[in-house]
Structure 1
Amino acid sequence: MIKAMVTGGSKGLGAAIVSHFIDREIDVTDVSRSGNSSLKGNRYYHHQQVDMTSLSESLHFLRSWTEEQEELTKLYLIQNAGTVQPMETVGSMDPSAIETAIALNYTAPAAWANLAFRLADEKNFELVIVNITSGAADKPNHGWSVYGSTKAALNLFTETAALEQGEEGHTIISYSPSIMDTGMQEEIRSTDASSFASVKTFQQYKEQGKLRKPEEVGGVLVKVLLEETLVNGKLYHVNDYLPSTK
């Protein structure tokens, strides 16, 4: 049986990815704190409340869930949970916010991939991991030192893990969704310019209709996963599949 798991699947891009898997009649587990009320009751939707900033809790869940699967042949693991906070200049950040961001954006997906590889070997199922990344990983952005650096670290982790696996091993790729009309974008637009210098640019994205809908972006990812031959370690970018919004 083919199944999917999406961290942070209750809203935004995560919820869109969950919905597209369901449309393809693939059993999907949303790993998040709140769950998606609009999907509860759907035969293909399952919610598991997990704090992804707690490594011991989240890893315990992943192992327990996997051990309960008796007929699992393939798992799509979409590591989508993340945070753009703290949006602040170096010297002004709350240390606990830095710790939380690193735990959610890098430590959790790296540790989950590490365990998932091992479990896939033990249970003998095919594994495809997708790490959701960002264009912020490619260059410095005022106020995004932590967000950008954690995404850059995750990108290199993905490439290295794929290199180790080779063409015949487990598949791990990155997916860059570009700018979307999500709650994270609302956070960005409400930030003070002293903390994030490009806030006006992001406000204009919204005003000028340049933000894609997460449903559209999530649909591209699921279509790629189910219909293309994946290249291990590749960074897939939504802009290669959809017309530019600029």
Structure 2
Amino acid sequence: MPKNLTILTGASRGMGRAMAEQLLQTDALLLCISRQTNIALAEQAQRAGAALLQWPLDLAEGATASAQLRQWLAQQDPATLASATLINNAGVIPALVPLSDSDPVALAQALRVGLEAPMQLTAAFLGATRSWTVPRKVLNISSGLGRRAMASQAAYCAAKAGMDHFTRCVALDEAQLAHGAKVCSLAPGVIDTDMQVQLRSADATQFPDLGSFAGLHAQGQLSSPEDAARRVLAYLARADFGKDAVGDVRG
């Protein structure tokens, strides 16, 4: 049976982990790239009869990860695959402080993981699979904060805005090819993850939007990681995926 290949970053927790769990079907070949491997995920894959690979890599070193991915993809036989998809999900939020108070190392980390690595991995994926005729997709997990500025979040907002715009550029590139990939930078909604806990725990004097995030949690307006993962994967499976290079699961 041909496998549906999915490469997923940031699969160790939150929505990334939920997506990995939902992708582990019998016809799956799932490659997860995260800081650490997940034993429970490996056990689930074995029960489901799915093929799972886990690479424990730091995406702050995106050049290393992308080189490894390009080499691995060159060794795959596309005749054994039904589809190939890259999901760039990993991201980090640096300290919630104004840019003037930010640590340069933390800024670099946020931009490397949130923007540089997705660009490098996308380049590796598209380059290594250029001759493949199976359907290919790139799904970049963006954020509403890539489209709306927020105080004390310059690095994260910039990374997501950059992700949106490089996706637009890649869509133009791929549209010129006979078997070009479908690409989309998708905002997944507001999700109850460790990132939200970090936002709600910030210093109100440094993070003016603290109240709005606390309110979303108090009013039960946050999606669970599992529900968010289902909505994102349903969007990925749509027949018109890639029609819009930048999208939102909320419409």
Residue segments in structure 2 that go unaligned for 5+ positions in a row: none
SS in 2 for 1:46: strand
TM-score, normalization by structure 1 = 0.90
Runs (4+) off by over 3 Å: 122-126
Deviates further, 92-101 or 109-118: 109-118
Deviation of the 1:58 alpha carbon: 0.7
Deviation of the 1:165 alpha carbon: 1.6
Q: Quick one: percent identity of the two aligned structures?
A: 24
Does 1:201 find its partner at 2:228?
A: no
Distance 1:79 1:3, change over 3 A: same
Please give the per-residue CA displacement for 1:149-207, whole angstroms capped at 9, x wherever unaligned.
11111101001110122175111111111211101111111111122111122112112
User: Which of 150, 157, 163 is equivalent to 2:159?
Assistant: 150
Deviates further, 138-147 or 14-23: 14-23
Counterpart Cα distance in 1 of 2:156 and 2:170: 21
Does 1:180 find its partner at 2:187?
A: no
**Aligned residues: CA RMSD:** 1.8
TM-score, normalization by structure 2 = 0.89
Please give the per-residue CA displacement for 1:99-123, whole angstroms capped at 9, x wherever unaligned.
1111011111111111211101155
Instruction: Name the residue aligned to 2:83.
Output: 74
Counterpart Cα distance in 2 of 1:201 and 1:170: 38
Q: Does the 8 Å CA contact 1:161/1:233 hold for their aligned counterparts? A: no
Counterpart Cα distance in 1 of 2:100 and 2:20: 38
Deviation of the 1:94 alpha carbon: 0.2
Instruction: Name the residue aligned to 1:225.
Output: 236
Q: Does the 8 Å CA contact 1:51/1:57 hold for their aligned counterparts? A: no
Distance 1:233 1:35, change over 3 A: farther
Counterpart Cα distance in 2 of 1:29 and 1:115: 14
Instruction: Name the residue aligned to 1:26.
Output: 28
Instruction: Name the residue aligned to 1:244.
Output: none
Q: Does the 8 Å CA contact 1:7/1:30 hold for their aligned counterparts? A: yes
